């Protein structure tokens, strides 16, 4: 064990649906899990409003409220929840080391990584101001609120194409704001978008400003070839310019794909290092849903419990 450190059998890094579900299972199994929440306790759901697709809530639930339920349930069984950001790791093993906020050293026999991913944003003021009031980074989560309305989506990758197609089924009209003269999305996804009559592609276009007082009322776009500006009335503005998994500190230790998503042994939460498990969006670029994250958090807790038992550590 390292000097001046606190040792825990199981450490959970991250406090979204994956982290808390792992905590609930691990705590009930008697593993006394210790969680460090990261900079955004509760994760991505805490920046959404109503969540209507999390099973068990027939009337829907507010994202922050749902995460409070997760936390209470994890604490009820003895999870120790601490605020703090994991800033460095050393997985030389067999005892794993994690530094919190660059100073506090923790050691653990097993670690569940549930650090999530963060949506990329355009970085304009109106996007932040109207976030949750017509601005969203998740069409699957929020598209329903714009049923029959006119919306815009920015991005030209597979996610944007997929979300534009999803929105087109719900909304009257979808404007797709593409910054270059072409898509990045795969041919098949492009074809799908181009063949959908209620999607209009605005090529060479940048978002100048999202307009609206309390909620989104329009978007002002700028043609980056001609400089011409134009206002388009919309009620929903979706950002789909990619996600970034929060896995930078694991580079060089854990296997990840070229975009930073942790790779796990298929059908499990096992990473390439014994005793380190991954769950939720940090290891999932495909589904990225609260319920899938929660499911994989459960898997990670069961994998960790069995791994600890097999090593005689539990
Ligand atoms: P990508 O990184 O592939 O695409 C991001 C898109 O956003 C690009 O078109 C990019 O434009 C645009 N963009 C980035 N920044 C800005 C900005 N500031 N303003 C305007 N536009 C911007 O991310 P995705 O989330 O689409 O995909 C991530 C990965 O997941 C990819 O490998 C993708 O193939 C995969 N994926 C696969 C799916 C499937 O197979 N069903 C579904 C969803 C994702 P530009 O092109 O000009 O760089």
107 and 247 belong to one structural domain: yes
For residue 268, give the CATH number of its domain: 3.50.50.60
Q: pLDDT in tens for each of the 314 residues of the chain? A: 445 789 999 999 999 999 999 999 999 999 999 999 999 999 989 877 788 899 999 999 999 999 999 999 999 999 999 999 999 999 998 999 999 999 999 999 999 999 999 989 999 999 999 999 999 998 988 999 999 999 999 999 988 999 999 999 999 999 999 999 999 999 999 999 999 999 999 999 999 999 999 999 999 999 999 999 999 999 999 999 998 999 999 999 999 999 999 999 999 999 999 999 999 999 999 998 999 999 999 999 999 999 999 999 98
The residues facing 244 across adjacent strands are 118
> DSSP 3-state assignment of 12?
strand
Domain span at residue 196 reads 121-239
Query: What's the confidence (pLDDT) of residue 3?
Result: 55
Assess whether 171 carries a catalytic annotation.
no
Query: What's the confidence (pLDDT) of residue 181?
Result: 97
Query: What's the confidence (pLDDT) of residue 2?
Result: 47
Q: What is the number of structural domains in the chain?
A: 2
Q: Is residue 1 part of a domain?
A: no
143 and 288 belong to one structural domain: no
Q: Is residue 52 part of a domain?
A: yes
Ligand 1: distance of its center to the CA of 160 in Å? Answer: 7
DSSP one-letter string for 197-254: TTEEEETTEEEEEEE-SSS--EEEEEETTT--EEEEE-SEEEE-S-EEES-GGGTTTS
Ligand 1 binding residues, C-beta < 6 A:
122, 154-160, 162, 179-180, 184, 241-243, 285
Q: Work out which ligand 1 atom sits closest to the CA atom of 160.
A: 26
86 and 58 belong to one structural domain: yes
35 and 177 belong to one structural domain: no
Catalytic residue among 90, 101, 109, 142: 142
Among 198, 220, 239, identify where a domain stops: 239
Among 205, 239, 273, identify where a domain stops: 239
> How many whole angstroms from its chain centre is CA 224?
31
Compute CA distances 100 → 19, 39, 82, 151, whole Å: 16, 11, 10, 42
Q: Is residue 277 part of a domain?
A: yes
- Report how far residue 167's alpha carbon sits from residue 210's, in angstroms, rounded to the nearest whole number: 19
- pTM, 2 dp: 0.80
42 and 97 belong to one structural domain: yes
Catalytic residue among 90, 109, 141, 171: 141
Residue minimizing CA distance to atom 7 of ligand 1: 241
191 and 281 belong to one structural domain: no
Q: Work out which ligand 1 atom sits closest to the CA atom of 241.
A: 7
Ligand 1: distance of its center to the CA of 154 in Å? Answer: 10
Ligand 1: distance of its center to the CA of 214 in Å? Answer: 29
> Exposed (0-12), middle (13-18) or buried (19+): which is 167, by Cβ within 10 Å?
buried
Assess whether 208 carries a catalytic annotation.
no
Q: Is residue 110 part of a domain?
A: yes
């Amino acid at each position: 064990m390292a000097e001046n450190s606190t040792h825990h059998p199981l450490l959970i890094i991250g406090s979204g649906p994956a982290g808390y579900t792992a905590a609930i299972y691990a705590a009930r199994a008697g593993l006394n899990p210790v969680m460090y929440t990261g900079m955004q306790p509760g994760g991505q759901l805490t920046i959404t409003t109503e969540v209507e697709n999390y099973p068990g809530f027939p009337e829907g639930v507010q994202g922050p409220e749902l995460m409070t339920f997760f936390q209470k349930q994890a604490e009820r069984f003895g999870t120790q929840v601490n605020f703090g950001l994991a800033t460095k790791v050393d997985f030389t093993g067999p005892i794993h080391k994690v530094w919190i906020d660059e100073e506090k050293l923790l050691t653990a026999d097993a670690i569940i990584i549930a650090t999530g991913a963060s949506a990329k944003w355009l970085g304009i003021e109106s996007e932040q101001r109207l976030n949750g009031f017509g601005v969203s980074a998740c069409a699957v989560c929020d598209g329903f609120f714009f049923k029959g309305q006119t919306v815009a989506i920015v991005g030209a990758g597979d996610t944007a194409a997929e979300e534009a197609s999803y929105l087109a089924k719900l909304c009257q009209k979808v404007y797709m704001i593409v910054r270059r003269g072409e898509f990045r999305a795969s041919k098949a996804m492009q074809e799908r978008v181009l063949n959908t009559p209620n999607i209009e592609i605005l090529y060479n276009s940048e978002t100048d400003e999202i307009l609206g007082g309390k909620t989104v009322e329009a978007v002002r776009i700028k043609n980056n070839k001609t400089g011409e500006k134009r206002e388009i009335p919309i009620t929903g503005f979706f950002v789909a310019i990619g996600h970034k998994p929060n896995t930078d500190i694991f580079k060089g230790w854990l296997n990840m794909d070229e975009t930073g998503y942790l790779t796990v042994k298929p059908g499990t939460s096992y990473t390439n290092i014994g005793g380190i498990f991954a769950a939720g969006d940090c290891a999932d670029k495909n589904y990225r849903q609260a319920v899938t994250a929660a499911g994989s958090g459960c898997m990670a807790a069961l994998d960790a419990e069995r791994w600890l038992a097999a090593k005689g550590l539990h």
